[in-house]
Amino acid sequence: MQKHILNVLVENRPGVLARIVGLITGRGYNIETLNVGPSNDPTISKMTIVIPGDEAVIAQVVAQLAKQINVFRVDDVTSRPHIDREAILLKVSTRATGRAPVIEVAMLFGAKVVGVQPDALTIQMIGSQMQVDQFLALVRPFDVLDISRSGSVAMIQE
């Protein structure tokens, strides 16, 4: 099932996020990732929502979102020229292998060591969702102690 990235511009007010999430999940659709932050206008927030679904499901979600009074704009950026990125912080144990092999994998992905503990490294990586998934697959054998993923953010490039 294809994942769709929706950019939704909404009124920056209490309760709007809850209404949008309720609208999507209330119809039985899953939200894979959700990222919300201020836009260049402090009265408007930008939501980036990743939803798995076929074209019909996404068309229905987009149509329902567009009807909401607090929603100014909805874009499915998936098939348009865009850049999407996700950030991840992870703490990896170095007790069994030492630091060098973990740092080597991190360097392959342009990741940075942002914290050094006696038996662990904290690593930051930014990339597409696919790159983050690939990075995690290579790092998991080193005993990942903790993970925090930001969820996707996206911008149309037209």
Rounded average pLDDT over 15-38: 94
Q: Calculate the alpha carbon distances from 92 to 83, 108, 112, 132 in Å.
A: 28, 16, 13, 15
95 and 37 fall within a common domain: no
From 29, 58, 76, the end of a domain falls on: 76
**Residue 106's CATH number:** 3.30.70.1150
39 and 66 fall within a common domain: yes
From 76, 105, 131, the end of a domain falls on: 76
| Nearest residue to 123 via CA among 106, 135, 101 | 106
66 and 102 fall within a common domain: no
Q: Residues 89-140: pLDDT tens digits?
A: 999 999 999 999 999 999 999 999 999 999 999 999 999 999 999 999 999 9
112 and 69 fall within a common domain: no
Q: Which residues contact 45 (CB under 8 A, 6 or more apart)?
A: 9, 10, 11, 12, 16, 17, 36, 37, 38, 39
- Residue 158: its pLDDT value, please? 80
128 and 71 fall within a common domain: no
**Average pLDDT value over all residues in the chain:** 95
Q: What is the domain count for the chain?
A: 2
pTM of the model: 0.88
From 54, 76, 98, the end of a domain falls on: 76
- Residue 74: its pLDDT value, please? 97
